[in-house]
Chains A and B, each alone.
Chain A
Amino acid sequence: MTTATDGAAAPLRILILDDEPIVCKRLKPAFQKMGHEVETFTDSNAALARLREARFDVVVTDLKMEGADGMQILNGAKDSAADTQVIVITGFATLETAKESYRKGAFDFIAKPFKLRDILDCVKRIEDKRRGLPTEAER
């Protein structure tokens, strides 16, 4: 159980987008518990608009949604700030969508349902990377 305040790291700004409110409802406090600042969206167009006006360190996005889909969000996030790390979460994971996500620069691709610990570890890796610390794999 590690908190984001360990090592006095600056909190990350995280945007969560999923058209299912339950995902946002459960992920938001989990990231907040790590000490991060979190904004949640269930409407992808609203999230896209927010990405144009503000910079986020991490974007967690669903893939299949009404309006802009996860790939558009991924592109939008990268256009807005190239170093924004995008985690794609989807209940319709295929090898093709995973490949495409990575090709477009996604940091990770997680199939739903997933364990809370998996996505917390994923964000921790982003945090370590930003702080220049070796990742688990590098250690």
Chain B
Amino acid sequence: MFAAIRRWAGRPTAPQEGERPQIDLWRLHALFNNFKRILTLNNAVLEEMAKMERALGGEYIFDRAFLESSVSTIANRVHHVAYSLNALTANRHVPLYDRYQEIRTLLDDILANNVHALADEAVLPLDAIGWEHEPLVGMDLVCLAELRNHPGIAPVDGFVVTAEGLRALAGNVPPSSGARADDGQRAGETRAALTDHLRNLTKRCAGAALTATLTLVGEDEQPLREIGCCRIDVDGERREALIATLRSEVPLVPANSRIVLADDRQSSGNAVQEPEAGAVVALLAHALEQIAHAAAIHATDQSGLANLCLFVCPQPEALLKGTIHTRVGSNDALAATDGLVVDAGPAAGAAGDTYLLRRTHPFSLLQSRIAPRPNGHRFADQRRASDAAGDQPHLSRGSALLAPGLLQALAKTAMLLERLFGAPLDIHWQLWADGACRIVRLRPLAIAAGAESAPAAGRPPEAVILCQGGQSGQAGVGAGPVVHVNEATDPETFPPGAVAVARTASPDLTPILHRAAALVTEFGSAAGHLATVARELRLPAIFGLPTALALLPPGTEVTVDGGEATVYAGAVAELLRYGAQPMDLTPQDREYRMLRRLLRFIQPLNLVNPEAPDFSAEGCRTFHDIIHFCHEMAVDELAHFQERRHELGALCIRPLALGLPMDIRLLDIGGGIQPQAAPNPLPEQIGSLPLAAFLRGLLAPQAWDTAAPSLGMRDILAGMPRSVGLLAAPADTLGANLAIIGAEYLNLSLRMGYHFSVIDAYLGEDSSRNFVYFRFAGGFADQERRNRRARFIARVLAAMEFKTTIKGDLVTARLKLADAAILQEALVALGALTASTRQQDTNMRSEADIEDRFADFAATFLTAFRQPHPAARAGGGDEAR
């Protein structure tokens, strides 16, 4: 770099001494070196992150040492990025170091199994639980909570008292129980939170009993272990609560423990004798505190590190209840080779039904055993079982308890839960009097000895491979009918349990992943955002499988093997029999859980909008946030360095021989100009991939082949302040457009006529890091016409799928996560756009001109970006773009 700068200074075409101030070579060297270092380190960090991410998807065999070395490598590089940004910007981002240190400490805690550092919430409502709470509440509740994001059966309402909460609640028990004496304030806060959540719960389920389940979370070999379960019934009138132990391995409460609330209604003068909601809540809170005390004693007896949590949910009388076994067990009545078993019975304990269903879409009923109902039994639809059914007695006493629609919904939800959990499940469901079915509990299903460890047979010889290749995004097997999707597809129209096939791995497809059984894309990589989502959902996924849309027509029944990156014709039972192969990495593995915990503080990108108020060093919550923030700030520094760094304004640089009335100066930071290039390089001697693409568009004859602008006096007057402003700019910058280029990088500040644009682009080997940023403003015509041109430009950018914002005549746009070829085409189009809009604002006389000019431009320069049919955009058609 330094040598390159020295070469400019000494090049033959350099201006005569005395014409320009001397260049501060050291400062210049530091500026670009820091910028280049940030880019390089960012890429290295992203590669490491991608490797960790892909390890989560099951592609790699790894161990704990890999996790430790990955965290160490990434952390060191992130620190270096923060340092380089501060060096680049004269220490304007020092708070980054604090954020870095906080995140690093969290990661070290995770590696040391100190999960309490992750969160300190005492009480968590179920709908606030995410994967980051897994160490605190267990995978069963994380999976239960995840149901709220998916169609199908909803989870039961409820909340969790975490180990922190239990410790705080137990704070007032005698010191011999192990509770801490200095937790008074914490106990008060926890009690208040508990009361709030109980109040909300009792409002939503008035009169219902509660169940409280105590679970031990985080044991290595057995991630979840139920310690006990109690039922709490409250009699508001008598102001007493009865706690009954349903099952328990330790003495949680004395048998049928009773709590009575002192009656202070008379003393308060309150004449209302109805059960008071406050009294009910107080009784429930007392009951839960009693259980918390028992839990604290248990924790002390077992180990100081025991991580207990208490899940509290309402338990009204159910019309029907039952279980789902996601695999046929040895004890199941229907001993078929494959399928899932749904049991359903009246809450009163009468004989129930058993159903065997397919484990894949459309979850058809394979077999059922319907128990005869006793005479007089009332079905859910209020009809009564009767012997008096004439010659068709099977239509009354033998009617099934569950309708096909509900059965399929239960099966679909059960398979989703098994996928999320990573192991066969025993799921408990209930149908309440409000007519809604709920999942109330899930736990690992005990599989008969031998069956669990036996590896699945390989692909049967007759299985037909429809396509194969690309990258495995998430291992696992999913099957269903193919549905083509694109960004315009309405997620509500996507049939749950189908296989989504898309052209690009657009982040816009995320809602569809919540409904799909598997995902296949033609473009995109396993390092992209959509792949991250697929891994979050443990959705079998293949990325970058060429011609998948053509090979997998809509409606075709297929089986997707994400780990093998292969799609088979039909439902391949041998592959589907085991949702997770024994060699797959699942949430049952300690390393999976630790990796996922680590990634929560490394991978997610929360700072996505540079215009948002929280786009700051203080707003960084993950390492990805830090490096993204640093990248944006570094780009911003370079995009404005001509304004901010006047000492660098007199750069001696190489003019590009364009053959156009346009002066572009080149500042090569490495590989941007071919070594054999002339002092004034020709366009074909440009080595910078993004600039070469931009020039292809800029130099296209069609881009210049537009009608001469017609300027009126109004336009001239409107442009006057701007032209005066430009004339006031430093002489060295007027009319000179600066392109900072590297082999993979372009930062072009461009003035054409009276508008100003910045193109910042990176096209490297790592497609997940590639981007094109475009900013455009200005013009000569009146404000309305400038705004029309801005809307035209935004229209073109949107057609190329740029994320575009427009404020008056200022257009800013970003394109990321696209295939490198697409980004190159976008740069070609931006070059053409730059040429064709040089004074187009003066021609934008009406709104209709926007569409007319867009149609002309699109026909010539946007052929690489197929436009969806308007109907497809509106209706979410199944054609891919």
Contact = CB atoms under 8 A, between A and B. Distances in A.
A52 interface: no
B63 A112 contact: yes
Contacts of B591: 22
A23 B61 contact: yes
Contact of B582 (A2, A29, A114): A29
B55 interface: yes
A62 to B, nearest CB: 8
A1 B566 CA distance: 10
Given A22-B591, A26-B583, A32 B455 contact: yes
Interface string B45-69: 0000001000100011111111001
20 contacts: A22-B63, A22-B64, A22-B589, A22-B590, A26-B582, A27-B583, A28-B582, A29-B453, A29-B455, A29-B582, A30-B583, A91-B62, A91-B63, A112-B62, A112-B63, A112-B66, A113-B66, A115-B61, A116-B59, A116-B563
Interface of A: 1-3, 18, 20, 22-23, 25-30, 32-33, 91-92, 112-116, 119
B510 to A, nearest CB: 27
Contact of A91 (B65, B456, B566): B65
A114 B66 CA distance: 11
B286 to A, nearest CB: 45
Given A3-B458, A113-B51, 15 more contacts: A2-B458, A20-B63, A26-B585, A28-B582, A29-B583, A30-B455, A33-B456, A91-B66, A91-B69, A113-B55, A114-B61, A115-B61, A116-B59, A116-B563, A119-B61
B64 A20 contact: yes
Given A1-B458, A3-B458, A112 B582 contact: no
A33 B564 CA distance: 14
B566 A112 contact: no
B459 interface: yes
B581 A113 contact: no
B60 A114 contact: yes
A115 B65 contact: no
Interface centre among B69, B455, B584, B589 (most CB of A within 10 A): B455
A113 B591 CA distance: 13
Nearest to A111: B66
A30 B60 CA distance: 13
A23 B55 CA distance: 13
A119 B456 CA distance: 19
Contact of B459 (A1, A25, A112): A1
Nearest to A90: B65
A113 B60 contact: yes
A47 B62 CA distance: 21
Nearest to B65: A91
Contacts of A119: 61
A30 B564 CA distance: 13
A98 B65 CA distance: 18
Nearest to A120: B583
Nearest to B70: A113
Contacts of B583: 26-30, 33, 116
Interface of B: 51, 55, 59-66, 69, 453, 455-459, 563-564, 566, 581-585, 589-591
Contact of B581 (A22, A23, A29): A29
A25 B458 CA distance: 18
Nearest to B60: A113
Contacts of A2: 458
Given A3-B458, A22-B589, A32-B455, A115 B59 contact: yes
Contacts of B65: 20, 91-92, 112
Nearest to B561: A1
B724 to A, nearest CB: 62
A33 B62 CA distance: 20
A12 to B, nearest CB: 15
Contact of A27 (B61, B66, B581, B585): B61
Nearest to B221: A21
Contacts of B51: 113
B589 A25 contact: yes
Contacts of B66: 91, 112-113
A27 B645 CA distance: 58
Q: Identify which of B60, B566, B585 gathers the most chain A CB atoms within 10 Å of its CB.
A: B60
Nearest to B458: A3
Contact of A33 (B458, B566, B590): B458
B61 A26 contact: yes
Contacts of B60: 113-116
Please give me the 10 A-B residue pairs with the lowest Cβ-Cβ distance, nearest first. A113-B62, A29-B582, A20-B63, A113-B60, A29-B455, A91-B65, A30-B583, A33-B455, A3-B458, A29-B583
A1 B61 contact: no
Contacts of B69: 91
A3 B457 CA distance: 9
B343 to A, nearest CB: 30
A26 B591 CA distance: 12
Contacts of B581: 29, 33
A14 to B, nearest CB: 13
Contacts of A20: 63-65
Given A22-B591, A25-B589, A26-B583, A1 B564 contact: yes
Contacts of B455: 29-30, 32-33
B308 to A, nearest CB: 26
Contacts of A32: 455
Contacts of A115: 59-61
Contacts of B62: 22, 91, 112-113
Contacts of B453: 29
B564 to A, nearest CB: 6
B140 to A, nearest CB: 22
A25 B60 CA distance: 13
Contacts of A112: 61-63, 65-66
B458 A116 contact: no
